[in-house]
Amino acid sequence: MPKEDGWEALCEVDVDPNYTVKRGLSDVVEIYEVRMNKDMEIDGFTLKETKLKAMPDKGW
C-alpha cells in the first residue's frame, strides 16, 4: 500500500523445514510487515506473527 514516503506491505515467509521439524512442528510461516522507500528498497521489517500454514486440503 503506498505511503507518503514509500510503501508498506505484508509478506508471508515459509520457515525452513529443517528448523521446524527438529522442534516438532511443520509447515510454519512467518508474517512480516515490510517498509520500503520510494525506490522499492527495504528500509525495515517487523515480525507480526508466526503460525501454522493453512492447509485447505486438511480442512484448516
- Every domain of the chain and the residues it spans: 2-53
Say what the pLDDT of residue 5 is.
84
Say what the pLDDT of residue 16 is.
85
Report which of residues 22 and 49 the model is more confident about: 49
The whole-model pTM stands at 0.73
Encode pLDDT of 24-59 as tens digits: 777 889 999 999 999 999 999 999 999 988 766 655
Say what the pLDDT of residue 58 is.
57
Q: How far is CA 60 from CA 1, 8, 34, in A?
A: 28, 28, 27
Contact 26, 3 (CB under 8 A): no
